[in-house]
Structure 1
Amino acid sequence: MRSLFPVAGPVGPAPTIDDVKLPTDNSNLFVRFLLSFWAPTTRSLRGWALASVVVNAGITVTGAGVRVTASGLGCPTWPRCTPDSFVPVAHPEVSPLNMAVEFGNRLLTFLVLAVGVACVLAALRLAPRRVSLVRLAWLQPAGIVAQALWGGLVVNTMLNPFTVGTHYLISSGLIAVCWLLYARAGEGDGPLRRVTHRDIRRLGHVLLAAAFALLVAGVVVSGTGPHSGDEMASRFDLDIEAVARFHADLAYLVVGLTFALLFALHVTNAPRPARRAALALLGVELLQGVIGYTQWFLAVPAALVLLHVLGSTLVWIAALRVVTSLRVRDGEPAPVSPSPTEATEATAAV
C-alpha cells in the first residue's frame, strides 16, 4: 500500500515545457487531424489556412480544365447534373467524358467547403479566441457558397464569358481571404507596424492593384479567344490580338513594378522576408511570361492554357505574400497590474 506519510529522499527535477505533450503531438494520425481544428494551436490554424489557399487555387485550375476540354456544359443543368438526376447519367446530347469532368469539378467544391469549415472551427476554438481571425475564417464558407451559386448562373447563362470570368475572379478573392487568414494568424492583434518605408509599402499596394488588373485583363482575353467551354458558348466581340497586346502591356507594368519594389527593398536593407517575397514574385512572373508567349505562338494549346491559369494564380498568391511581408502586427501589450503600494494609494485617493 502507498504510505500515508511522505518519505524523505531525492527530489526529482521540476517538469519543463519540453515534458508537456501538446494535443497535436498525439501519435495517432487521425486523432491529430481532429485535434488540429478541435483543439487548435496557432500553427494548426495556419496550416488549415494554407490548405485553403491550396484547394482554392486547385479548383481554379480544374475549372480551367473544364473549359479547355469543352466540358462547361457537361452537366447541362444546376444544381442537378441532368434535369432528372444530381449525379451523371447517360444523356444523348452530352459526352460521358465531358459530364464526368464537369461533375468532378462540382464535387471539388465540397472539399473546398470542408477545408473552409475546418478553418472556422479552428478559429472559433483557438484559445484565446481572436475576433479578427474568426471574421476572416467565416468569409471562406460564405464565399464558397456564393461561388457555388454563381456557378449555377454560369450554367444557366450558357457559359456567358462575363459570368465565367467573374467566376474566376471570385476565386481570386477567396484566395486573398485565405492568404490573409494565414498571414494574420502568425501575427498579433496589436497596431499595424510597417517594416519598410511608407512609400515602399505604397508601391507594394500599387503592385497588388496592377496584379489584379492583370487578372481582369486575362479574363477578357480568355473570354475573347478559343476554349470557350462549349461550342454553344458566346464570346466577347473584341479583337483578340488587341486584347492580348493590352494584357501583355499590363504584364510588363507588373514586372516593372516588381523590379522597382525589389530594388527599393534591397537599397533600404529591408527585412529578408520582404526581399525574398519580392524575388519569388519576380521569378514567378518571368516564368508566366514564358508560358504566355509560348502559348501565343503555338496557337493556344489546351495544356499551356492550364499552365497559364496556374501561373496567374501563383502570381496572385506571390503578390499577396509581398504585401503582407511589408508590415507586421505585434501582440497587444498585456495590462500592467499596479503594485500593492500603488493600489493602496489609489484606494486612499478615492
Structure 2
Amino acid sequence: MYLVTVLGNLLIILAVSSDSNLHNPMYFFLSNLSLNDICLSTTTIPKMLVNIQTQNHSITYIGCLNQIFFITAFFGFENFLLAVMAYDRYAAICHPLRFINNIETRNQTIISEFILLGMSEDRELQPLIFSLFLIMYLVTVLGNLLIVLAVSSDSYLHTPMYFFLSNLSLNDICLSTTTIPKILLNIQTQNHSITYIGCLNQIFFITAFLGFEIFLLAVMAYDRYAAICHPLKYTVIMNFYFCGLLILLSWFMSMVNALLQTLMVLHLSFCTELEIPQFFCELTLVLKIACSSTLINNILIYALVSILGGIPFSGITFSYTRIVASVLKMASGERKYKAFSTCGSHLSIVSLFYGTVLGVYFSSPFTNSPKK
C-alpha cells in the first residue's frame, strides 16, 4: 500500500512537471495534492512497518509529538487544498471566459519555462552522469532512511542527539528529492527545461530545507555544548519538550524565510534570457536573468542570510569555543577523547554542509560558459 501510494503519486508529479500540456492550475494543485499524500503516508506507515517487523508496538514521546504535528499539518493542508481545487473548478465551469482570460494574461507576463545549463550536453557522458546521480540519490535516501529507522526502533538511541540526527537525515532526504529526480528526468528525456512553477517550487523547498539544516546544525552544536559543559544538568536542559520546541522553531523560521523569498520572485518579469547556468533553480541565478529590478530581492536575501545564517553560525562557533575550553580543563586524557569523539560526527557534517554550500555558490557562475 505504501509503495503504491508513493510511486503512484510520484508518477503524477513527474507527469505534470514534464508535460507542458498539463501546466495549468488544475494539474498544479493535483501535483501538490500528490506530494502532500506522499508526506502524509510517510508520517505513519514506515513506523508501523518497523513496529510490525520488530514486534515492538511502542513509540517515543518525541516520536508521538512529531506524528501529531505532521499529521495535523498535512491533513490541514489537504483540507485547504481541496477547497482551493473546488474553487478552481467553479471558476473554470461557472466563469469560463474570465478563467481563460486570466490564464492568457498571466502567460503574456510570466514565462512558461527556464532552461537549466548546469549539465554537460555531451551525449556520450549522459549515461555516466545519469548513473552517478542515480547512485548518489539512492545512497542518500537509503542511508538516511536506515538512520531514521534505527533511531526510531532502538530505545537506546532515544536521546536528544539521535533525535536531532534523525531529523537531519529526514531533511537530507527531502532536500535531495527536491532536485535530483528532476535532474534524472531531464537527462533521460534530453530536455533541460523546467517550468516556471517547477522552478518556484525548487526555490521554495531548497530554501526551506537548507534553512532548516542550518538551524538544526546550530541546535545540535548546543546539544553537544550542554552535554559536555553541563553534564549534570544535561537531562534538565535538553528535555523532550525543549527538543521538540527547538525543532518546531527551526521549521517555522525556515518556512517563513522560504515563503518570503519565493513570493518576492513572483513580482519579477523575464525577457528572452531564460538560461540558468546551474542544474537546479538557484535563487541568486534566477534573479540575475530577471528583466525587472531585483534591488528589493537582493536586500531581502542579504538581510535574511545575515540574520538567519549568521545567528546559527555564531551559535555553532560559540558552542565549540566553550566545548574546547571545557575539554582542555579536563585532567583525564580518556575523558578528553570521549568528549571530542562525541563531537566528531557533528563537526564533519558542519564542515561538509558549509563546504558544499560555499562550493555550489562560488562555482555557479562557472558551471556553464555563456552562449555568444
Q: TM-score, normalised by structure 1?
A: 0.36
Larger relative contact order (C-alpha < 8 A, sep ≥ 6)? 1
Higher Rg of the two aligned structures = 1
The structure in which a higher percent of residues are helix is 2
